[in-house]
Every structure is written in C-alpha cells, then in structure tokens.
C-alpha cells in the first residue's frame, strides 16, 4: 500500500512570552496509507493539532518534512491545498447563513464550476441527512447537524485527504455514531483520512491504524488489535464484597492479581477456561457482586504507553503470589 | 486573477448576508443614525448657533459618526472569523484567504451607503435643503465612502489583532470620539484652544468641511479637499496594508 501522507521528523516549538520556546513536536513521524484512516490518539497537549496544522499547510515545521501525494506541504502548499480538506476543532460554518448557502459558498471558494455547485450541494445535503433543514439558518441547528454540515463543507471537492481534528468532541452518542458512519462512507469513496481524537473507542472503531502521540512524538503505532495485544491478555475480573473475600477467592484461584476488592485472573477467553475459573470461585462459597471478562482496551494501551502522566493515574495494584 | 475576483465576490456576498441578518448591525446602520440626527437637531440644535440652520450643519457629521459605529460591527465580524474556524478553513483551501477581509469591507461600504441615504432622507424631511448638483452629490457621497473605507479597514485591522470580542467592541470607543472633537457638531472656533489644535489637524474635520461645502453647492476650497483625500486615502491604504500583513502574520 502506498502512503498518501507522510511526515518525517517534524519539529515545532512555540515561543511563549517571557519563557523559552516550548517544543510541541519533537521528531514526529507518521504515514497515512491511501484509502485508510489513521487515528492520532493522545492526551491534550500531545501535539495532535499542531501535526494536523502542519500537514494542512497552516503552519511551517521548524524541522522535518511532510508530503501529501508526494507534494511538499511547505514548498507546494498551494497544490497541496487543492487535494486536502480540513475540519478543525471549531465548526467553521456561518450561523447566519442557511445550510445550503454555507455549502454553496464553500463550493464557490473551492472554485467548482458554477453550474456544478447546485447539484453537488444537494447531493451532500442528502448524503448527510440535512436536506430537510437546508433552508434554515445554521444557528438554529443542533450541534450534531452543524458538525455534519462542517464535514460536508470539506467534501465539496472530493478531497484526496481529509483531516479531522477531534471531530466528535462535544457530540452526544447518537451524533457521534452518525458522524462515524459519514467518515466510513467518505473512506469508502476513496478519500484517505487523518483523524485526531482523545476517544480510544473512536480510534478503535474507525481507524485501520492508530498512532499514539505523547510529548510530540509517536510512541506506538499499529493496528488497534495489535496495540491491544501488546499490552496484555484478557482477564476475568471479579468484584467481591470485601477485601477478606477477595483474599479467599485469590487463594483458591492461584496466581492472580488483587486490587482492593477486585480479583483479576488472566484468561485466554475460552469458554472452558472461564467456566473453570467460575467453578473454582463458586466452590469457595463466596458470591461475587459482579464479574466480567475484560479484554484490554485502547485505554490500557494509552495508559501503559503515555509516560509518567499516564502511570500516575493508574491505580496501584498489589500482586499476590501463590 | 479571475480566481481572486471570484473569491472577493463570494466573500462580499457572504459579508452582506451576515450584515443583513445581524440585528445588531442593522439597528446600528438604520435606526441609530436617525436617532442621533434627531437628538442633535431637536435636543442640542436649539442651543447651538452655527450660522446656518443646524440641520444643514450637522447632517454630514451624523453620517460620519454612524460610520464609526458601524465599523465596530466589522471589527467584531473579523474577530469572529479569526477566532472561529472560518479563517483556518479558508487557509487550508486554494483561496486567497485575505479576501475574507475585503468581503467585510465591501459589506460595510454597502451598509454605510444605505445608512447615508436614510440619514439624508430623514434630514431632508426635517428641512435640510442641499443645493448640490448631481455631480456634487456624487462627489460628496464618494468622499463619505472614502472615509468609511478607511475606518472599515482600520476596523478590520483591529479585528485581526484583538483576541476577544470585547476588545473588538472597545474599538468603537476610539473612533466615536474623532467626530466629536472635529467640526462635525460645533464650529472648531468654539473649542478651547488646546482642543482646537487637535480638531483642526485630524481627518474628520477636512472630510466634514468638504462634504458640507459640496452639499451647500458653493465653492469648495481646494486645499481642504486635498487634505480630506490625503487623510482618507493615506490612512485607508496604510490600514489595509497593515490588516493584510497582520492577517498573514497570524499563523
């Protein structure tokens, strides 16, 4: 597969008044394969937005190089702009214009042939389920609808690459779901997507590859499933009524980890193994308040790999050895 | 070049729509100038002796004052574009992004043209009898628009530079004072000496004198016209260039 977006060793510092420049990007590398979604996942201040701003020609890197379809984002900025669309963290539509007016305006600014604009606008309004509201001012729309319009505004030209900077921040679950569907459709239409998010679920659901960003560099990269495997195996988690109960269950089960009233038993997730664990627990006579089989989530990956700040937030775990 | 023209047209249409649908801007453009006119003529006018009928004296001043109020709306609109996502989006497109400023300026010129027509209309109803020929009318409106153009580019510059809507709004305060300390509402000779120096050497006074003379249909002193044009064009070009540069630097 060929890479449509590449970044090599991107560095960027921002000057602060009365302080030395703060490095935001510290040698960031990434590649977006053509026709796929890459999610940049990281905490606030990791450098996600700065990366997107460089890749969309809004910002020059201090060092390093980035290309879109082989074109340098600094030297060939104008041509790059014809290939990309950016949907930033803030919704960039005019509240006082109607949905249709907003899209038509973007069509003119994208220099589409005048006659083509009307059809394209109607097509996009229909695709984003906004036809009914198209004649109303956007100021009266819901947050989810405004976000969808914002995305549609970026798609008038059928861009090769679409950048989405935290597109679902502040949306309710239903709107988030609708937006994910839209992104999938966009990708099915041949557009490559670079998405930043703080939501692990979002990266997991949408992206073929995830790049974990922390401190201005990519600390882990790969398919969501592979990243999760790296962090560890699944476990049966049992919540007991008291620490004494937890100790009793732990003694019966053998090598397990105990954290207060919670007992975690590593498992391969097979029916046979889970059943044997539960039988052992039942034989102790202790009734757990709650139990579940829990596979590692991207949250675990996130906490395991994003350095000190992540580690500090992890609950301490006491190891009980048999 | 044709692409730039198309961008300017698109964004001017946008600017006009935003103004027309902004209740605040419309009140500032349509209601406020009339209220000010009535206030000056009916409340202050009786006590002021300017040699001619006060309505004849004060009408050009009210128009310039209204332009100052209206400019605050432009500063706000530009600030909104800068801090909202619009400018970011335009910059990631093959668009000359500074044309978004031009769009707001064109909208402001059209808006002030409407305000000007309304003020003249009400003023004529109240007894203002300009003796200008059609050509002098055109010239007067042209000078007014030059003034509006300068103030609006200055407002656009303020909109680019400030970091909050409040700061953009504060701009009104500054430009509001210029017409007060000029010959717009009272003859400069009636001001205390230390203020007179300022009033005689600021842009509003020659602009007012030019418009007043054109409308009265008398001869217009050439040096006053030259001064008015020099102020408006000089400050206008300087403000536009500064706004453009500040816009490019904000990245």
pLDDT in tens, B56-67: 889 999 998 888
Same domain, A223 and A241: no
Of A55-64, B32-41, B184-193, the one with minimum mean pLDDT is: B184-193
> Of A228, A257, A280, which marks where a domain is finished?
A228
Nearest Cα of chain A lies from the Cα of B158 at a distance, in angstroms, of 21
| CATH code: domain of residue A237 | 3.30.70
The confidence score (pLDDT) of residue B70 equals: 83
Q: Does A99 touch chain B (CB under 8 A)?
A: no
Q: Residue B13: which pLDDT band, with cuts at 50, 70 and 90?
A: very high
Nearest Cα of chain A lies from the Cα of B250 at a distance, in angstroms, of 10
Q: Taking CB atoms and an 8 Å cutoff, what residues of chain A touch B10? A: 105, 108-109
Question: Percentage of chain A with pLDDT > 70?
Answer: 93
Same domain, A53 and A81: yes
Nearest C-alpha in A relative to B77: A94
Q: Does A57 touch chain B (CB under 8 A)?
A: yes
Same domain, A7 and A51: yes
Structure ipTM: 0.86
Measured CA to CA in angstroms, residue A235 lies from A269, B5, B36 at distances of 7, 64, 76
Nearest C-alpha in A relative to B90: A109
Higher pLDDT, A293 or B176: A293
Same domain, A132 and A267: no
Same domain, A189 and A49: yes
Put simply, the answer to whether B86 touches A56 (Cβ < 8 Å) is: no
Count of structural domains, chain A: 2
Domain that holds residue A129: 3-228
Q: Does A83 touch chain B (CB under 8 A)?
A: no
Report pLDDT digits (tens) over A41-86.
988 888 999 999 999 999 999 999 999 999 999 999 999 999 999 9
Of A12, A81, A92, which to mutate for an interface test with B (greatest number of B Cβ within 10 Å)? A92
Q: Taking CB atoms and an 8 Å cutoff, what residues of chain A touch B13? A: 105
**What value does the CA radius of gyration of chain B take, rounded to a whole number of Å?**
18
For residues A310 and A288, give the distance between their C-alpha atoms in angstroms, rounded to a whole number.
Answer: 30
Same domain, A281 and A217: no
The confidence score (pLDDT) of residue B50 equals: 67
Of A28-42, A257-271, B198-212, the one with minimum mean pLDDT is: A257-271
Same domain, A194 and A235: no
> Of A201, A228, A255, which marks where a domain is finished?
A228
Nearest to B21 among A89, A96, A150 (CB): A96
Token digits of residue A296: 């590692």
Question: Percentage of chain B with pLDDT > 90?
Answer: 50
The confidence score (pLDDT) of residue B180 equals: 83
Put simply, the answer to whether A97 touches B17 (Cβ < 8 Å) is: yes
> Residue A255 pLDDT > 80, yes or no?
no
Same domain, A25 and A145: yes
Q: Does A109 touch chain B (CB under 8 A)?
A: yes
Nearest residue to B208 via CA among B73, B31, B34, B50: B50
The confidence score (pLDDT) of residue A25 equals: 95
Q: Taking CB atoms and an 8 Å cutoff, what residues of chain B touch A109? A: 7, 10-11, 90, 93, 95
Put simply, the answer to whether B92 touches A57 (Cβ < 8 Å) is: yes
Put simply, the answer to whether A56 touches B92 (Cβ < 8 Å) is: yes
The confidence score (pLDDT) of residue B51 equals: 64
Q: Taking CB atoms and an 8 Å cutoff, what residues of chain B touch A110? A: 93-94
The confidence score (pLDDT) of residue B197 equals: 84
Of A3-12, B127-136, B167-176, the one with minimum mean pLDDT is: B167-176
Same domain, A211 and A239: no
Q: Tell me the mean pLDDT in the region A88-108.
A: 94
Q: Residue B196: which pLDDT band, with cuts at 50, 70 and 90?
A: confident
Report pLDDT digits (tens) over A156-182.
988 999 999 998 887 888 888 888 988
| Mean pLDDT across chain B | 88
The confidence score (pLDDT) of residue A322 equals: 33
> Of A197, A213, A228, which marks where a domain is finished?
A228
For residues A180 and A195, give the distance between their C-alpha atoms in angstroms, rounded to a whole number.
Answer: 11
Nearest C-alpha in B relative to A78: B94
Q: Spell out the SS3 assignment of chain A.
A: CCEEEEEEEEEEEEEECCEEEEEEEEEEEEEEECCCEEEEECCCCCCHHHHHHHHCCCCCCCEEEEEECCEECCCCHHHHHCCEEEECCCCCCCCCCEHHHHHHHHHHHCCCCHHHHHHHHHHHHHHCCCHHHCCCEHHHCCHHHHHHHHHHHCCCCCCCEEEEECCCCCCCHHHHHHHHHHHHHHHHCCCEEEEEECCHHHHHHHCCEEEEEECCEEEEEECHHHHHHHHCCEEEEEECCCHHHHHHHHHHHCCEEEECCEEEEEECCCHHHHHHHHHHHHHCCCCCCEEEEECCCHHHHHHHHCHHHHHHHCCCCEEECC
Best mean pLDDT range from A246-260, A262-276, B94-108: B94-108
Nearest Cα of chain A lies from the Cα of B7 at a distance, in angstroms, of 6
Of A29-38, A310-319, B109-118, B187-196, the one with minimum mean pLDDT is: A310-319
């Amino acid at each position: 597969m060929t890479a449509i977006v590449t970044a090599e060793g991107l560095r960027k510092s921002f000057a602060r008044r009365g302080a030395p420049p703060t490095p935001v990007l510290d040698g960031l590398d990434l590649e977006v394969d053509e026709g796929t979604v890459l999610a940049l996942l990281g905490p606030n201040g990791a450098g996600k937005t700065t990366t997107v701003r460089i890749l969309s020609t809004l910002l020059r890197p201090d060092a390093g190089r980035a290309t879109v379809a082989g074109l340098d984002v600094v030297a060939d900025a104008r041509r790059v702009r014809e290939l990309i669309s950016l949907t930033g963290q803030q919704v960039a539509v005019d509240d006082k214009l109607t949905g249709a007016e907003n899209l038509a305006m973007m069509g003119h600014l994208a220099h589409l042939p005048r006659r083509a604009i009307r059809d394209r606008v109607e097509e996009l309004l229909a695709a984003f389920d906004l036809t009914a509201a198209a004649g109303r001012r956007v100021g009266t729309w819901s947050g989810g609808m405004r976000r969808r319009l914002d995305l549609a505004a970026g798609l008038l030209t059928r861009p090769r690459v679409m950048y989405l900077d935290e597109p679902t921040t502040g949306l309710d679950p239903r709107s988030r779901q609708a937006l994910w569907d839209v992104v999938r459709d966009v990708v099915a239409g041949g557009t490559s997507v670079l998405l930043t998010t703080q939501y692990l679920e979002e990266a997991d659901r949408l992206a073929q590859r995830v790049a974990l960003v922390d401190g201005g560099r990519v600390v882990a990269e790969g398919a969501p499933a592979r990243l999760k495997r790296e962090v560890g195996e699944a476990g049966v988690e049992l919540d007991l009524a008291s620490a004494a109960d937890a100790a009793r269950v732990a003694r019966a089960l053998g090598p397990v980890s105990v954290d207060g009233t919670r007992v975690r038993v590593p498992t391969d997730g097979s029916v046979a193994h889970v059943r044997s664990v539960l039988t052992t627990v039942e034989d102790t006579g202790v009734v757990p308040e709650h139990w579940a089989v829990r596979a590692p989530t991207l949250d675990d990956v996130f906490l395991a790999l994003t350095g000190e700040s992540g580690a500090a937030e992890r609950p301490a775990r006491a190891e009980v050895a048999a | 070049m044709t692409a730039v023209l198309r961008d300017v047209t698109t964004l001017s249409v946008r600017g006009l729509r935003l103004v027309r649908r902004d209740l605040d801007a419309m009140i500032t453009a349509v209601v406020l100038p009339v209220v000010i006119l009535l206030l000056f003529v009916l409340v202050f006018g009786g006590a002021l002796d300017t040699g001619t009928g006060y309505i004849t004296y004060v009408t050009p001043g009210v128009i310039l004052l209204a332009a100052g109020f209206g400019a605050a709306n432009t500063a706000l609109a530009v600030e909104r574009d800068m801090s909202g996502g619009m400018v970011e989006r335009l910059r990631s497109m093959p668009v000359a992004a500074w044309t978004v400023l031009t769009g707001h300026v064109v909208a402001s010129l059209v808006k002030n043209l409407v305000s000007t027509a309304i003020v003249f209309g009400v003023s004529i109803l109240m007894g203002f009898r300009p003796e200008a020929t059609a050509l002098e009318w055109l010239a007067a409106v042209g000078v007014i628009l030059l003034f509006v153009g300068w103030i609006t580019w200055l407002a656009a510059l303020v909109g680019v530079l400030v970091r909050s809507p409040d700061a953009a709004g504060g701009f009104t305060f500054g430009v509001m004072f210029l017409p007060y300390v000029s010959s717009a509402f009272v003859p400069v000779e009636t001001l205390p000496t230390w203020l007179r120096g300022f009033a005689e050497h600021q842009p509003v006074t020659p602009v007012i004198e030019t418009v007043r003379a054109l409308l009265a249909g008398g001869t217009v002193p050439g040096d006053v016209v030259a001064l008015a044009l020099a102020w408006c064009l000089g400050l206008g070009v300087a403000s536009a260039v500064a706004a453009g540069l500040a816009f490019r630097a904000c990245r």
